[in-house]
Structure 1
Amino acid sequence: MLGAGGGAGGGAGSRGAKPSFVSYISPEEVHLKEPIEKELDPHLLPGELLLCEANMVLKYVQDDGSNRGTCGKLICTNFKISFLGDESTFDDEPQFQNKIIGENDITLQCVDQLYGVYDEKKKSIYGQLRKYPEKMIIYCKDLRVFHFCLRYTKEEEVKRIVSGIVHQTQTPKLFKRLFLFSYATAAPNCSELKNQMVMFDSIKDWRQELERTKGNLKFKAVSVNESYKVSKKLPTYFIVPMAVSEESILQYQGRGIPIWCWSCHNGAALLKMSALPKEQDDGTLQMQKIFLDGIYRTIDKPPYEALKIDDLSSSLPSVQDIQIAYTRFKQLFLIDNSSDFWDTDVKWFSLLESTNWLETIRRCLRKAVDVVELLEAQNTNVLLVEENASDMCCVISSLVQVMMDSYCRTKLGFQSLIQKEWIMGGHAFLNRCNHLRQTDKDEAPVFLLFLDCVWQLLQQYSPAFEFTETYLTVLSDSLYIPIFSTFFFNSPHQKDTTMYGGTLDTQGSRLSFHSVWDWSVQFEPKAQALLNNPLYVEKPKLDKSQRKTARFKHQRQLSLPLTQTKPSPKRGFFKEDQLIKNILGKRISRLITSSDELQSNSREFYDNWHCKPVDFHGLLLPRLEGPEIKVWAQRYLRWIPEAQLPGGGTVATATKVLDVMEDVQGLQKKVDEKHSEMVSEDDTEASPFLRNPARLSSLFPFALLQRHSLKPVLPTSTWKDLEGEEDLARRDDDFVDLGDV
């Protein structure tokens, strides 16, 4: 089911259904026509080493639990697990291929869980094994599921491959043993991408952003943290209010210092601040009170008199809550076989509701709407507070900018936003993605939560975004590809010290890492075209006369006219000593009240905006009611054949638009070139994705039309409740057809 998409069910931790048919035919008999001794050579990247391999491994087809599959070789390297077999695609149609990761490749960081099957019972495998399984199941963080049969493999090869995979994926790793460093050492010519993108690795980039948002009148870029002498968690350069002196930043080591994120067109600013330690003596509290009071006076001057502090730790789910919700949520998509899928299809929505993942997304979007209302309608500066200002601060500040700033909805702008708020903002990707497997307590899909929130906006207002949901999907996959440095460090300090061999003053060789933003490393130009939204409405350019009349305004246009708001009362921020102590870290969460619902002011602002036509280059507010928050089907359902819509889904629209665009481009070539011979040659070179639209489905572009098991007339769970044929006849009139998936 799943609305217009398809259902999903079955838990990764649940016991796998026993197959109804067991094949006693050996792989040699299955592939009798193919020469088994055919050599299968793995494709290895620079720095990649083959660690172990096993022959005569059967990769099962994930369908109805039968033992059909392909025979081949399973290998494990210091980069990936890979199955090498002769698997031909449907009519040999080319797919959306990644040049780094193949269809049967699993990077070591992408492995989520390992299970072994012993006498038809599935058990988690880790550590030293006393008994080796006859079948191994690998659950991936991108939600792929692989089943490998080892029944026909030599015993010594089974021991080597299983032990090697367990050791490489389940045991703690040393940071310098990541493949990221092996690849950077063996491929020294790779370099960071600087093409038009703002990387925020220089003070010039920060000053340009201040100028772009017209925030340079109240804020300044500082370089006090060069060589990371102030804080290892802050970037080398950042922006603070004018009143903040470098001596103050040094004194408080960057904590308790309001740091600028973005400025609204009306001058109101979005800031963030890491909370001070909870326990401090009275002298330190008094000094901090005087310091912050002076800063807030400069921010709270007319006409922007209000400053709102929002402690995100009290108003949003904790990192641990996010991890728990996502752990439950992902079990719905880790499908072992069709029996699991259909068995839970009828109760899928209740299972989805119980995970709390969509509610977590809704709460983040709701909080962002509250912040937008303060900035836009009330001309109020907003200060987001969090322990390290590197998790939910990143989520909310980024969402606010995507909603309010149309530049952040272009591809380059969105990438620069991630560089500024996440990479330079010190989000601990290494810990949150658990790349080292050293501890599970810090693991949480905070960045994936942000991408899911952006997807909600994109699917509601597709013409406002220059990129597609496919772009967001491959970006989420890139979290686990260890040749890019973008998502493999906890802070800019960790990256810089690693690049220079441990000390910033070292004059030796400098490691050079790939940036994930160089999409040519992963995809060919035709594949990259699927990352660009053909429905994107480009911003119209103003002529010179319009520019002169609108010079006093900021370059961003709003879809909501400025409404008259009640003036905020003039007030000092520190009214009570208790408030001072809480702001300084005693227990901020007790003071700042929060609600799961939109505030009354926000509700009026929200409803008024939705009553007006949408300006795709102005303010965007997501629809938050009930079913408007949906499951990101392309990412979560793309590997489940039963959930596909043949010829349907977003691909139906995308292919038609791309067909029209190709026709327009072809006509343009005829006009420009005026050479019929050249035009005819170009016409024969059709897009590989559109050559046969009948083969496409809602799984496109990650898979073409896949064969899958038919949906049973009655769900599996219903069959279990039926007593016999007479009972079936009696209940026939009560059956409600749920429709095709």
Structure 2
Amino acid sequence: MEFIELILINKLDGVVLKHPHHDTIDGTVCITGHHLILSCRKEGVRELWLLHKNIDSIEKKENKGRGIVQGGSLFLKCKDLRIIQLDISGTTELHLVAQTLENLSNIQDPSHFYPFFYRHMHPIMENGHTLYSIEGEFTKVLATEEWRISRVNQHYTVCPGYSKAVVVPKSIDDETLAMAASFRQGGRFPVLSYRHNNGAVLIRAGQPLYGLMHRRCRPDEAILNSIVSPGMKGIIYDLRSSNSISQQLNKGGGTETASNYSQWKIFNRSMDEVDNQQQLLESFSKLIEACMSEDISSDKWVSRLESCGWAESVRNSLHTACIIAQHIHHKAEPVLVHGTRGEDATLLVCSLVQIILNPDCRTIRGLQALIEREWLLAGHPFGTRLRAGAYGSAPRAAPTFPLFLDCVRQFLEQFPCSFEYRQSFLVILFEHAYASQFGTFLCDSEQERTSRGVYTQTTSLWSWVNAPDELANHINPLYDPTPNVIWPSVAPMSYVIWEELYLRWLVKQNTEEREEQYRTIRTREQQLRAQAQQLRRELLDVAQQYYAP
């Protein structure tokens, strides 16, 4: 395919751009293989560069007067939640631009996406594609006698969604892993996700293919039983409702049985709305529709936001993660988490558990590493899930990763001093996950990224973000590192709408002002603590003098 075949018009003068929070611009539109570029040089140089992949949907409105059509407007609804209006005077040109943008925004082959054509302008200090590896991330775990790196999936034949290397119990050989993979949905046999400092572990997998024939798999049982210490029981959390499990049973799936997994306690914690891609996308679309409505200051707006279901999904995700984290932290119990395929709700919950328990995940590089091992290397299908945003639709598209970012945003709201990164970093991740010049979020798995040359032919997002000049923009000035576990509130009133993302094109943000308020409060708190310590010392001195012989 050649881009020239899809471009019906490549340049047009006299186009009026109406853009949120910007003055109206009358300029020239140029359409390339990857960008729509609108420039105006009447009062200095003003330009808009929009990746075609960022366009979620296109609405066309013709100007009709006295039965005659004279041009019209294109409304470009973007995955970064902008709505851009282009006013075009000529009817023919209106249709040509609309069709051209439809053609270019609907390209599906990743090899034609911009990251394969982009060339970074500045020297790359570190290759983000190789920055995080399974071996490097689990160094401390591999130093124990309990875990090892397995390369049973070296050629992606055992589990297409897993990476080449996975961490498994040292007592389990690769042959057993391969047999267990045939018993799990998508070949997703149990692998290590996280090991807490008390030795308790978090494991993730796909659903067991139990079926109506009550199939049993002793290799799978051996893997799980090898994780449980003598005299202790492990915990299995199936992230589905009983009704969903019954439906999967009729399709050959199901859940573990107490008789075959006697060393494990089995619980259900329904997160069906997350694993249901269509339902989650509809919820997100309703949220953005409510945010873009004109009644955001009315009393009905809050109830409208609640009725869309997105806030409930955020709370449910955080609540589930808290429950699992309590098993690990307070009871030192091993936990296995799975839903159906283990690509969405499973990865979401495992990631949130680690943010609760692991302070490293609250740093910039720690969050990058978490995304690498729990999303990219674990086979979350970014290419499929983020093919459409809040304004579009596509088969199996769902904002699972944006839901994760919103959950992290709730952490930042409740613990403003516990995270090295500020909200702008989460917004960057949101934008680049949907459309980017970088290759980090391309494709559905490590296997696909390897075969398409993503790691060798594109630049990593981390290479850019970690450059000192860019990194400085995302460091939280309130950050105060703490080794403590953090427990988010999941009460309904605790949810805060992510204004900095969902309302940023409508409402002027006051993030810096709020940070200054937090900084003032933090400084005052530190002063009071210092005064209290000084008073304690003085009291102790007085007491020693009084009671001295």
Give the TM-score normalised by structure 2.
0.78
The equivalent of 2:30 in structure 1 is: 75
Q: Which amino acid aligns with 2:413?
A: Q
Is the CA contact (8 Å cut-off) linking 1:189 and 1:512 kept in structure 2? no
The alignment status of 1:309 with 2:175, answered yes or no, reads no
Is the CA contact (8 Å cut-off) linking 1:52 and 1:160 kept in structure 2? no
C-alpha separation in 2, matches of 1:50 and 1:422: 38
Give secondary structure in 2 for the equivalent of 1:466. Answer: coil
* CA displacement, residues 635-673 of structure 1 (integer Å, 9 cap, x when unaligned): 111111xx336xxx33114468999xxxxxxxxxxxxxx
Work out which of the residue numbers 320, 324, 336 in structure 1 matches 2:278. 320
Instruction: Say if 1:413 and 1:281 are closer, same or farther in 2 by CA, change over 3 A.
Output: same
Instruction: Say if 1:344 and 1:150 are closer, same or farther in 2 by CA, change over 3 A.
Output: farther
C-alpha separation in 1, matches of 2:296 and 2:128: 50
Is the CA contact (8 Å cut-off) linking 2:16 and 2:25 kept in structure 1? yes
1:239 CA drift (Å): 0.7
Is the CA contact (8 Å cut-off) linking 2:73 and 2:94 kept in structure 1? no
Count of aligned pairs: 477
Instruction: Say if 1:247 and 1:79 are closer, same or farther in 2 by CA, change over 3 A.
Output: same
The alignment status of 1:618 with 2:484, answered yes or no, reads yes
1:193 CA drift (Å): 2.0
The equivalent of 2:450 in structure 1 is: 496
Work out which of the residue numbers 84, 87, 110 in structure 1 matches 2:39. 84
The equivalent of 1:460 in structure 2 is: 414
C-alpha separation in 1, matches of 2:494 and 2:392: 38
The alignment status of 1:518 with 2:471, answered yes or no, reads no
The equivalent of 2:495 in structure 1 is: 629
Instruction: Say if 1:157 and 1:466 are closer, same or farther in 2 by CA, change over 3 A.
Output: same
The equivalent of 1:193 in structure 2 is: 127
C-alpha separation in 2, matches of 1:86 and 1:388: 53
Instruction: Say if 1:297 and 1:161 are closer, same or farther in 2 by CA, change over 3 A.
Output: closer
Instruction: Say if 1:394 and 1:627 are closer, same or farther in 2 by CA, change over 3 A.
Output: same
C-alpha separation in 2, matches of 1:438 and 1:147: 17
The equivalent of 2:141 in structure 1 is: 210
The alignment status of 1:239 with 2:177, answered yes or no, reads no
Instruction: Say if 1:529 and 1:172 are closer, same or farther in 2 by CA, change over 3 A.
Output: closer
Instruction: Say if 1:630 and 1:86 are closer, same or farther in 2 by CA, change over 3 A.
Output: farther
1:457 CA drift (Å): 0.4
Q: Which amino acid aligns with 1:320?
A: Q
* CA displacement, residues 500-552 of structure 1 (integer Å, 9 cap, x when unaligned): 9xxxxxxxxx842111112359x881x542200111113xxxxxxxxxxxxxx
Structure with higher Rg: it is 1
1:470 CA drift (Å): 0.9
Give secondary structure in 2 for the equivalent of 1:369. Answer: helix
- Further displaced range: 49-58 or 478-487: 49-58
Work out which of the residue numbers 330, 341, 355 in structure 1 matches 2:308. 355
Instruction: Say if 1:417 and 1:119 are closer, same or farther in 2 by CA, change over 3 A.
Output: same
RMSD between aligned alpha carbons?
A: 3.5
Instruction: Say if 1:261 and 1:61 are closer, same or farther in 2 by CA, change over 3 A.
Output: closer
C-alpha separation in 1, matches of 2:170 and 2:157: 21
Is the CA contact (8 Å cut-off) linking 2:63 and 2:70 kept in structure 1? no
* CA displacement, residues 333-362 of structure 1 (integer Å, 9 cap, x when unaligned): 34xxxxx52587342112111111111100
Which residues in structure 2 correspond to 1:629-648 (within 5 Å)? 629-640=495-506, 643-644=507-508
User: Structure 1: which 5+ runs fail to align?
Assistant: 1-48, 93-101, 122-130, 335-339, 501-509, 539-615, 660-741
1:84 CA drift (Å): 1.2
Give secondary structure in 2 for the equivalent of 1:55. Answer: strand
Q: Which amino acid aligns with 1:148?
A: L
Instruction: Say if 1:379 and 1:63 are closer, same or farther in 2 by CA, change over 3 A.
Output: closer
C-alpha separation in 1, matches of 2:70 and 2:322: 53
User: Structure 2: which 5+ runs fail to align?
Assistant: 1-6, 242-269, 521-549
The alignment status of 1:487 with 2:441, answered yes or no, reads yes
1:633 CA drift (Å): 0.9
C-alpha separation in 2, matches of 1:379 and 1:656: 39
Which structure features the higher share of strand residues?
2
The alignment status of 1:57 with 2:15, answered yes or no, reads yes
- Further displaced range: 372-381 or 312-321: 312-321
1:265 CA drift (Å): 1.6
Instruction: Say if 1:198 and 1:383 are closer, same or farther in 2 by CA, change over 3 A.
Output: farther
Give secondary structure in 2 for the equivalent of 1:251. Answer: helix
The equivalent of 1:268 in structure 2 is: 200
1:374 CA drift (Å): 0.8
Give secondary structure in 1 for the equivalent of 2:178. Answer: helix
Work out which of the residue numbers 44, 49, 58 in structure 2 matches 1:114. 58
Give secondary structure in 1 for the equivalent of 2:240. Answer: helix
Work out which of the residue numbers 508, 521, 531 in structure 1 matches 2:474. 531
Give secondary structure in 1 for the equivalent of 2:118. Answer: helix
Which residues in structure 2 correspond to 1:95-174 (within 5 Å)? 104-119=48-63, 134-151=72-89, 154-169=90-105, 171=106, 173-174=108-109
Q: Which amino acid aligns with 1:644?
A: K
C-alpha separation in 2, matches of 1:351 and 1:103: 36
Work out which of the residue numbers 349, 366, 372 in structure 1 matches 2:319. 366
Is the CA contact (8 Å cut-off) linking 1:463 and 1:537 kept in structure 2? yes
C-alpha separation in 2, matches of 1:652 and 1:117: 40
Q: Which amino acid aligns with 2:478?
A: L
Give secondary structure in 2 for the equivalent of 1:634. Answer: helix
C-alpha separation in 2, matches of 1:88 and 1:635: 30
Which residues in structure 2 correspond to 1:178-577 (within 5 Å)? 178-183=113-118, 193-194=127-128, 198-200=131-133, 204-208=135-139, 210-211=141-142, 216-253=144-181, 255=187, 257-277=189-209, 279=211, 285-286=215-216, 288=217, 290-302=218-230, 305-314=232-241, 315-316=270-271, 317=273, 318-334=276-292, 341-342=294-295, 345-434=298-387, 440-499=394-453, 511-519=456-464, 525=469, 528-538=471-481
Q: Which amino acid aligns with 2:61?
A: V
Is the CA contact (8 Å cut-off) linking 1:310 and 1:383 kept in structure 2? yes
1:258 CA drift (Å): 1.4
C-alpha separation in 2, matches of 1:313 and 1:657: 39
1:76 CA drift (Å): 2.2
Q: Which amino acid aligns with 2:146?
A: K
Instruction: Say if 1:343 and 1:392 are closer, same or farther in 2 by CA, change over 3 A.
Output: closer
Give secondary structure in 1 for the equivalent of 2:457. Answer: coil
1:199 CA drift (Å): 1.4
* CA displacement, residues 199-256 of structure 1 (integer Å, 9 cap, x when unaligned): 12xx532541525xx7x33222111221223222110001112332100222344636
Give the TM-score normalised by structure 1.
0.59
* CA displacement, residues 684-713 of structure 1 (integer Å, 9 cap, x when unaligned): xxxxxxxxxxxxxxxxxxxxxxxxxxxxxx
Which residues in structure 2 correspond to 1:27-46 (within 5 Å)? none
C-alpha separation in 2, matches of 1:656 and 1:627: 22
1:278 CA drift (Å): 5.4
The percentage of aligned residue pairs carrying the same residue is 22
Give secondary structure in 1 for the equivalent of 2:102. Answer: helix
C-alpha separation in 2, matches of 1:72 and 1:438: 28
Q: Which amino acid aligns with 2:152?
A: V
C-alpha separation in 2, matches of 1:439 and 1:519: 30
* CA displacement, residues 569-590 of structure 1 (integer Å, 9 cap, x when unaligned): xxxxxxxxxxxxxxxxxxxxxx
Instruction: Say if 1:443 and 1:209 are closer, same or farther in 2 by CA, change over 3 A.
Output: farther
Instruction: Say if 1:658 and 1:308 are closer, same or farther in 2 by CA, change over 3 A.
Output: closer
